[in-house]
Amino acid sequence: MADLGSITMLLAIALAVYAGIGSLVGQWRHAPDLLASARYAAYLTPLMLVTAMLVLVAAFVDHDFSLRYVAGNSNRAMDPWLTWVAFYAGNEGSLLFIAAIFSGAAALAIRLAPDEVRPALPFTTAVLMGVTVFFTGIMMTMANPFYELPVTPPDGQGINPLLTHPGMFFHPPMLMSGLVGVGLPFAFAIGHLLAGQTGDEWVDTARTWGLVVWATLTVGLLLGAWWAYTILGWGGYWAWDPVENAGLLPWLPLTAFVHSIMVQKRRGMFRMWNIALIILAWGFAMYGMFMNRGGPVPSVHSFGQSTMGWVFLIFLAVNLIGAFAVFFWRYERLKSAAPLESRLSREAAFLLNNVLFLMVALVVLWGVVYPLVTDVFQGVIVTVGQPYFDIVAGPLFLALVALMGVGPLLPWRRASASGTMRLLRFPIIVGIIVAVIAVALGARAVLPALAFGVCGLAAAGVLREWVKGTQVRHTRGEGWPTAFGRLIMSNRPRYGGYIAHLGIVLLAFAATGSSFYSVQEDFSLAPGERAALGSYEVEFLGSSSTPRPDRIERRAVVQVYKDGQPLEQLQAGFAFYPAFSMAATRAGIRQTPVEDLYVLASEFTPDGRALFRVHINPLVVWLWIAGPIMVLGTVVSLWPERQRAAAALPAMRAMRAVRATG
């Protein structure tokens, strides 16, 4: 079986190299046959890599410890369900997953490429294949998952305890796909630059892939937050940890990109800027993968420590230098098709959005690299943690949410000052009212009141557009629901975007509530004792200790009371893994729309007492609700428009006919 894995990996890299070189040579020699065969090689590459991946999964499920990687990341004692996903617990399997998912997406992107990107497709294919070759090559030379041990050990070493969570099924694949996926819009951008197609041909395709990747990365990050919340056991979901930052960094320019690409789509502007943005996003995405795969900064998330980091850094440098070299080579041709008519226009709002997103990315990056700066200049590695990021990035995020309420209301090209005031009057009034109510309800500090007000402003901006648009349709004789549905469908990129914006408002709302109003307290309780926090009481009923093959599960059962009324029982505890001398926490969480009661049991003393930490975390559930809303918004945004599909159909048929005869 391992041989099958090695062979398919070899075939995959050979096919990808052939597809990349073949498409360049085919383009150079004007050889349509060679181009077609290169394309088919690109379609076959993911088949090979997926086969290799399945072989690896089978090896994990079968406990084939003759493979070094399987022996190092699993054992017989682990839960059977976990063996299905344990293959991306370390570097080798993660790289295989990344290579397989990227080559699959690349094949799909090549197959689905619409007519307007076909002239540049050979170059795009070459870039896509270059990335595939890199990941497959680094895996084969430095982290081969199919390396066979000379002697098969009787049992493996087991999986990192922190990975033993149902989130393992979703978070790593989503995050890895989201990070490497940035390579798709990047490849279209660079491919078109190389081909000299410096107009707007690449825009629709890059926007589509950009949004798909954006949604994937967003969900990946949220799942990571959810995972941290339920298993890392410190009561929070985001700690500005170096690896979390590495996931956030590409998200920022990517978000800027999916916004500013709309300006190019609609108005033919920002051509240079969009290319620069996607190059930056790809640079950060590679940095993110580098940090996840054995980065130099200590973190709770960096599971695969290795020397591979250097190879990643070199690849990152080559990509950035190469991409910007091509960019400056084509610089002269990348002029906007239209001037910016006014600073009070939607184009200008998009520019401000981009500047703010880049600023967040830069201040986060600065916080990440600053310890290296002090190391060099002062000989001491300082910590740059949550206080820094909260203070410098918080206001920028707040400004972005405010802009989200204002920008979409502005018309394209230019707006008059008086018209703008009329447009913005309503959201601003709502924002002020919300802030005042927040203060009246006991928001003691300026910042949370301001943040809630800004959330109100942004939500009101979106609602205003929906209500107005629906009303106009209603006055033309459509029923309210029909009017609303048709409004959304009339301009999907726009109204899908609004849905995603509402998701962001929810995120901001939840983040404000939980970061300013969380309460926590530690208690040491004997069985039968009660402790009170706020309007809650928890009663320690008793604890249990269950030995499992690979771990000991300690569990405390607590009865929750609110205002003296008994509610449900929660289980809180941890699983201790002797092989790793590590514990994985399992928090007991009672989730309501208002707040979470979050109970941790961190220690059990011999006299039967248990050490509890109880949190009340307001509004956290809205974080998890925001995710599906943003995905819905992306889907609406990308839903194909009928006219365009109808127009594309004859063209596609013609293409097929040409291909069949030629």
| Shortest reach from residue 520's CB to other proteins, in Å | 7
| Shortest reach from residue 260's CB to other proteins, in Å | 13
**Residue 558: beta bridge partners?**
540, 570
Smaller CB separation from other proteins, 50 or 443: 443
**Residue 590: beta bridge partners?**
597
Smaller CB separation from other proteins, 490 or 546: 490
Smaller CB separation from other proteins, 165 or 413: 413
Contact 206, 258 (CB under 8 A): no
Residue partners of 530: CB distance under 8 A and separation at least 6: 537, 538, 539, 540, 561
Smaller CB separation from other proteins, 328 or 480: 480
Helix (H) or strand (E) holding 552: strand 552-562
Smaller CB separation from other proteins, 173 or 497: 497
What is the rounded CA–CA span in Å between residue 205 and residue 227?
33
- For the record, the structure tokens of 131 come out as 């990335």
| Shortest reach from residue 317's CB to other proteins, in Å | 23
Residue partners of 350: CB distance under 8 A and separation at least 6: 259, 260, 262, 263, 270, 407
In whole angstroms, how far apart are CA 523 and each of 340, 529, 556, 612, 613?
61, 10, 13, 5, 6
Smaller CB separation from other proteins, 148 or 390: 390
What is the rounded CA–CA span in Å between residue 463 and residue 432?
16
SS (H, E, C) 560-587: EEECCEEEEEEEEEEEEECCCCEEEEEC
Smaller CB separation from other proteins, 68 or 551: 551
Residue type, 218: T
Smaller CB separation from other proteins, 63 or 265: 265
| Shortest reach from residue 10's CB to other proteins, in Å | 40
- For the record, the structure tokens of 237 come out as 């979901």
| Shortest reach from residue 24's CB to other proteins, in Å | 29
| Shortest reach from residue 516's CB to other proteins, in Å | 10
| Shortest reach from residue 137's CB to other proteins, in Å | 32
| Shortest reach from residue 128's CB to other proteins, in Å | 27
Extended beta strands in 96-207, E state: none
Would you give the DSSP letter of residue 490? H
- For the record, the structure tokens of 470 come out as 């629906």
Contact 145, 96 (CB under 8 A): yes
What is the rounded CA–CA span in Å between residue 386 and residue 397?
15
Smaller CB separation from other proteins, 129 or 438: 438
What is the rounded CA–CA span in Å between residue 509 and residue 522?
27
- Which alpha helices (H) appear in 298-345, and where do they start and end? 308-329
Smaller CB separation from other proteins, 122 or 407: 407
| Shortest reach from residue 456's CB to other proteins, in Å | 5
| Shortest reach from residue 586's CB to other proteins, in Å | 14
Contact 232, 167 (CB under 8 A): no
Residues in the chain: 662
| Shortest reach from residue 54's CB to other proteins, in Å | 36
Helix (H) or strand (E) holding 209: helix 203-227
| Shortest reach from residue 610's CB to other proteins, in Å | 14
Smaller CB separation from other proteins, 63 or 562: 562
What is the rounded CA–CA span in Å between residue 575 and residue 584?
5
Smaller CB separation from other proteins, 25 or 352: 352
